[in-house]
Structure 1
Amino acid sequence: MERAKRKLEHIDFALKTGQQRKSGLEDISFIHQSLPGISLNNVDLTVEIGGLNLSSPIFINAMTGGGGLETEKLNGDLAIAARETGIAMAVGSQMAAIKDSGQQASFKVARQENPNGVLIGNLGGEATVEQAKRASDMIEADALQIHLNVIQELTMPEGDRNFAGTLSRIEEINRCLGVPMIVKEVGFGMSKETVEQLLSVGVSIIDVGGFGGTNFAKIENERRAKILSYFNEWGIPTAASIVEAVNVSPALSVIGSGGIQCPLEITKSLALGAKGVGLAGHFLKLYKELGLAQLIKEINYIHEDLKIIMTALGAANISELRKTKIVIAGNTYHWLTQRGIDCSTYAK
């Protein structure tokens, strides 16, 4: 199938299948602080992630591109939202534009609409160093995501079936690229073993892309004649994946994503140890249903609510929020306990 048509189908099916709401963040509870000791006016949302200095811990995560005028309009409007709210933005996979120069406009528009913002490029694990440099140059990227999507590819009728050499390609890109590199999952989560492998080749920024949000197995199954139903519930929930990644090394910058939709879930993700939080499905749905102006309002509301919640917790900045005491219960507690992680340390 023509790649551009597939990109448009992904958007339609993402809206149709919706968000899983199985991120595990419902298992996380804050310990109430009656004496927070800080003022709302002094709460600071700035954060540093792997060399990127950001005014906010949230960003618009990778969605699309390479689908002609429709995705050009979408990326342009998302870039306007990022510009108006001061947050970073990642574009979708640029391989479409690498293989067809006619699709470059659907990515370049992000830089045109947001000339001074933080933009993050995106390619899959099959990319070469030369392709990574072209993707970065295409949008004058401040960083580049390399996405891992094995389950999506296996479910995709025309997807890749050979994943040999991915780690060595990531190592080479990271060594040669010249801008920070983020390795991210696309909705199936990262285990501590995967994160350890990435750390061993020099990767310092991880986006866990946990199970619980947009489900690319379900999306690709919508396009299959023979459904691979066993992949529809496959993955590591976002909350558990954040903890697994954070516990590998303090040298890592971990980004939480995967079904995160509201300020409370963002705050919980940061309290679990993430430095930043990516939102995609929630923003896409809001934009499609209510338009750009409402998306901008929503992002501003999120920032306001984050500051309110942080005030209640006595956390004046993101570093303090990441040390906030929490209780982990339910399936997330059982998952992490069986994986050898002592959940009580988060509450003490």
Structure 2
Amino acid sequence: MSRAKRKMDHINYALSTGQCRATWLDCVRFVHQALPGIGVADVSLEPKTGDLKLKSPVFINAMTGGGGSETLQLNAMLARAAKETGIAMAVGSQMAALKDKQERESYQIVRKENPNGTIFGNLGSEATVEQALEAVEMIEADALQIHLNVVQELTMPEGDRQFRGALDRIARIAEALHVPVIVKETGFGISQETAVALDNTQVAAIDASGFGGTNFASIENERRKRKLAYFEDWGIPTAAAIVECRNGFSRTVLASGGLQDAGDVVRALRLGADAAGIAGSFLKHAVSLGEAGLIDEINGLHEDVRMLMTALGACTIEDIRSAPAVINGELLSHLKQRGFETEHFAVPLKN
């Protein structure tokens, strides 16, 4: 099977299998503030994300590219929506374009449609320094995502079975590139142990990318004769993965994995994320509502985040970290068993 055909299979199965809504973000409940002391006009949505320099707490996460004309058109639409709403956008894995030059246009269209926007390139952890440099040059990327997808590869019929040396390759890429490197999972979460290992490199940010959104084990099982069902419930739910990353990594932490609305975004920010990536929900809006509908959804999401921040008395994204929130259910159990303090969520430390 060609890479282009596989890319389209991934998109189609992502749309048909949906999201399992098992992020544990619903285990976070804010304590209502009847006297927030601010108004909507006092709220700033610009996060502090180090070298990434994001203007919005939300970005379009990696989904598409390398699937011929269909993904070219989809990437073009996403890029125009990102330009119109002022948010960053990541492309899908560019390995397809490194191996087949004819696929380059499906990625380069993003920079063509959004010449001044913030765009993230994307490669897997098998990439070399030379390939990383080429991927950045291909789309004039402002940062490069390196995705970790061991479970997806193991479930993929034609996937990789060898994962030695990934950390060393990531470290070399982070040292060699002139743009920030983001390490992200693909929906199975990053643990504190992995975050600590990455913190000892020059990686600028990690994306927790937890369990609970688009499930690539389920998608790959749709392409298998003998399904590996045990991988379909595998991973660290998004809410827990954010806390794991925040406790193991000293720089920018991004959240993704099943985030669907402003409530999810604000809860993710409260748990320790600096910004949030959305892929599956934006993909569905793009396909079902078209470009204008997607732009309306993103603008509406921004407005909803402002409303929620106002209710919390949070003028800035950083202020959300001081909003009292009670942790319960499976998330609380996970955090306690993993040895993380939880009381500070409900009773934040005062500066």
TM-score, length-normalised on structure 1? 0.99
Partner AA of 1:178 in structure 2: H
1: CA distance, partners of 2:50 / 2:205:
6
* 1:163 correspondence with 2:151: no
1:333, CA displacement in angstroms?
A: 0.3
2: CA distance, partners of 1:138 / 1:339:
42
Report the number of matched residues: 347
Structure 2 residue aligned with 1:180: 180
Partner AA of 1:200 in structure 2: N
1:64, CA displacement in angstroms?
A: 1.3
1:221, CA displacement in angstroms?
A: 0.2
Structure 2 matches for 1:1-348, cutoff 5 A?
1-249=1-249, 251-348=250-347
1: CA distance, partners of 2:178 / 2:281:
32
| Per-residue CA distance 1:5-59 (angstroms, 9 max, x = gap) | 0000000100111011000001000011111111210100012313122221100
- 5+ residue gaps, structure 1: none
1: CA distance, partners of 2:28 / 2:90:
27
| Per-residue CA distance 1:169-211 (angstroms, 9 max, x = gap) | 0000000011000000000001100101111123230101100
Matched residue SS, 1:291: helix
Contact 2:205 2:251 in 1 (8 A): yes
2: CA distance, partners of 1:21 / 1:217:
15
Partner AA of 1:235 in structure 2: G
Contact 1:50 1:180 in 2 (8 A): no
1:163, CA displacement in angstroms?
A: 0.2
1:322, CA displacement in angstroms?
A: 2.4
Partner AA of 2:332 in structure 1: Y
| Percent of aligned positions that are identical | 57
Partner AA of 2:180 in structure 1: P
Partner AA of 1:20 in structure 2: C
2: CA distance, partners of 1:207 / 1:40:
29
1:323, CA displacement in angstroms?
A: 2.6
Matched residue SS, 1:136: helix
1: CA distance, partners of 2:248 / 2:192:
6
1:344, CA displacement in angstroms?
A: 1.1
Contact 2:118 2:141 in 1 (8 A): yes
Matched residue SS, 1:70: helix
Contact 2:7 2:67 in 1 (8 A): yes
Contact 1:263 1:306 in 2 (8 A): yes
2: CA distance, partners of 1:223 / 1:323:
45
- 5+ residue gaps, structure 2: none
Matched residue SS, 2:248: coil
Partner AA of 1:84 in structure 2: E
1:324, CA displacement in angstroms?
A: 1.8
Matched residue SS, 1:54: coil
Contact 1:273 1:323 in 2 (8 A): no
Contact 1:31 1:326 in 2 (8 A): yes
Partner AA of 2:92 in structure 1: G
2: CA distance, partners of 1:286 / 1:166:
34
269-278 or 320-329, which moves further after superposition?
A: 320-329
1: CA distance, partners of 2:206 / 2:317:
17
2: CA distance, partners of 1:53 / 1:194:
24
TM-score, length-normalised on structure 2? 0.98
8-17 or 194-203, which moves further after superposition?
A: 194-203
| Per-residue CA distance 1:301-326 (angstroms, 9 max, x = gap) | 00001001000000001111123221
CA RMSD across the alignment: 0.7
Partner AA of 1:210 in structure 2: G
2: CA distance, partners of 1:158 / 1:275:
35
1: CA distance, partners of 2:322 / 2:61:
25
1: CA distance, partners of 2:42 / 2:183:
33
2: CA distance, partners of 1:134 / 1:197:
26
Moved over 4 A (4+): none
